[in-house]
Protein backbone atom coordinates (compact mmCIF):
# COMPACT_ATOMS: atom_id res chain seq x y z
CA UNK A 1 0.00 0.00 0.00
CA UNK A 2 0.82 3.64 -0.27
CA UNK A 3 1.51 5.46 3.00
CA UNK A 4 -0.78 8.41 3.74
CA UNK A 5 0.47 11.39 5.73
CA UNK A 6 -2.18 13.33 7.69
CA UNK A 7 -1.84 17.02 8.62
CA UNK A 8 -3.84 18.54 11.48
CA UNK A 9 -3.77 21.90 9.69
CA UNK A 10 -2.06 23.60 6.78
CA UNK A 11 0.47 25.47 8.91
CA UNK A 12 4.12 25.68 7.93
CA UNK A 13 5.23 23.58 10.90
CA UNK A 14 2.75 20.79 10.09
CA UNK A 15 3.83 20.72 6.43
CA UNK A 16 7.53 20.82 7.33
CA UNK A 17 7.07 17.97 9.77
CA UNK A 18 5.19 15.85 7.23
CA UNK A 19 7.81 16.44 4.53
CA UNK A 20 10.59 15.61 6.98
CA UNK A 21 8.89 12.32 7.89
CA UNK A 22 8.23 11.40 4.24
CA UNK A 23 11.77 12.15 3.09
CA UNK A 24 13.49 10.95 6.26
CA UNK A 25 15.08 14.33 6.94
CA UNK A 26 16.21 15.06 10.47
CA UNK A 27 14.10 17.85 11.91
CA UNK A 28 15.05 20.62 14.27
CA UNK A 29 14.49 20.59 18.01
CA UNK A 30 10.89 19.47 18.74
CA UNK A 31 10.48 22.22 21.36
CA UNK A 32 11.53 24.85 18.83
CA UNK A 33 9.11 23.39 16.29
CA UNK A 34 6.27 23.49 18.85
CA UNK A 35 7.01 27.15 19.64
CA UNK A 36 7.04 27.97 15.91
CA UNK A 37 3.65 26.29 15.63
CA UNK A 38 2.39 28.42 18.54
CA UNK A 39 3.59 31.60 16.78
CA UNK A 40 1.81 30.52 13.61
CA UNK A 41 -1.32 29.85 15.67
CA UNK A 42 -1.11 33.30 17.28
CA UNK A 43 -0.85 34.94 13.86
CA UNK A 44 -3.66 32.82 12.44
CA UNK A 45 -5.95 33.62 15.38
CA UNK A 46 -5.26 37.34 14.96
CA UNK A 47 -5.85 37.29 11.21
CA UNK A 48 -8.84 34.98 11.00
CA UNK A 49 -10.30 35.27 14.48
CA UNK A 50 -11.60 32.28 16.34
CA UNK A 51 -9.81 29.42 18.02
CA UNK A 52 -6.67 27.70 16.73
CA UNK A 53 -5.76 24.18 17.91
CA UNK A 54 -2.10 23.23 18.22
CA UNK A 55 -0.55 19.76 18.09
CA UNK A 56 -0.43 17.68 21.28
CA UNK A 57 2.62 18.39 23.46
CA UNK A 58 3.99 17.37 26.84
CA UNK A 59 3.34 19.55 29.90
CA UNK A 60 6.69 21.37 29.69
CA UNK A 61 6.21 22.40 26.06
CA UNK A 62 2.59 23.41 26.67
CA UNK A 63 3.78 25.66 29.50
CA UNK A 64 6.28 27.31 27.14
CA UNK A 65 3.53 27.72 24.53
CA UNK A 66 1.22 29.29 27.16
CA UNK A 67 3.99 31.76 28.07
CA UNK A 68 4.56 32.65 24.41
CA UNK A 69 0.84 33.17 23.83
CA UNK A 70 0.66 35.42 26.92
CA UNK A 71 3.65 37.46 25.75
CA UNK A 72 1.69 38.20 22.57
CA UNK A 73 -1.32 39.35 24.62
CA UNK A 74 -3.41 36.38 23.59
CA UNK A 75 -5.27 33.76 25.63
CA UNK A 76 -4.95 29.97 25.36
CA UNK A 77 -6.23 26.95 27.24
CA UNK A 78 -5.05 23.36 27.43
CA UNK A 79 -7.58 20.72 26.47
CA UNK A 80 -7.76 16.97 25.99
CA UNK A 81 -6.18 14.15 27.95
CA UNK A 82 -2.62 12.84 27.84
CA UNK A 83 -1.05 11.97 25.50
CA UNK A 84 -3.28 14.13 23.28
CA UNK A 85 -3.43 17.19 25.54
CA UNK A 86 -2.86 20.33 23.50
CA UNK A 87 -3.24 24.09 23.47
CA UNK A 88 -6.13 25.96 21.92
CA UNK A 89 -5.43 29.62 21.23
CA UNK A 90 -8.70 31.36 22.05
CA UNK A 91 -7.99 34.94 20.96
CA UNK A 92 -6.81 38.31 22.24
CA UNK A 93 -6.57 38.93 25.98
CA UNK A 94 -9.23 41.23 27.39
CA UNK A 95 -7.88 44.62 28.42
pLDDT by residue (tens digit) across 29-54? 889 889 999 999 999 999 999 999 99
Model pLDDT, residue 93: 86
Q: Range of 41's domain?
A: 30-92
Is 25 inside a domain boundary? no
Residue 47 contacts by C-beta under 8 Å, 6 or more apart in sequence? none
Is 83 inside a domain boundary? yes
The CATH number of the domain holding residue 77 is 3.30.1370.50
Is 7 inside a domain boundary? no
Report how far residue 55's alpha carbon sits from residue 73's, in angstroms, rounded to the nearest whole number.
21
Model pLDDT, residue 27: 65
Task: Give residue 26's pLDDT band: very low, low, confident or very high (50, 70, 90).
Answer: confident
In this prediction, residues 22-34 reach a mean pLDDT of: 82
The tally of domains found in the chain comes to 1
Q: What is the mean pLDDT of the chain?
A: 90
Report how far residue 6's alpha carbon sits from residue 2's, in angstroms, rounded to the nearest whole number.
13
Amino acid sequence: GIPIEVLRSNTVSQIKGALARVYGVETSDPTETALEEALEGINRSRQLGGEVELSPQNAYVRRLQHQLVGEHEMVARSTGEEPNRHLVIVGPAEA
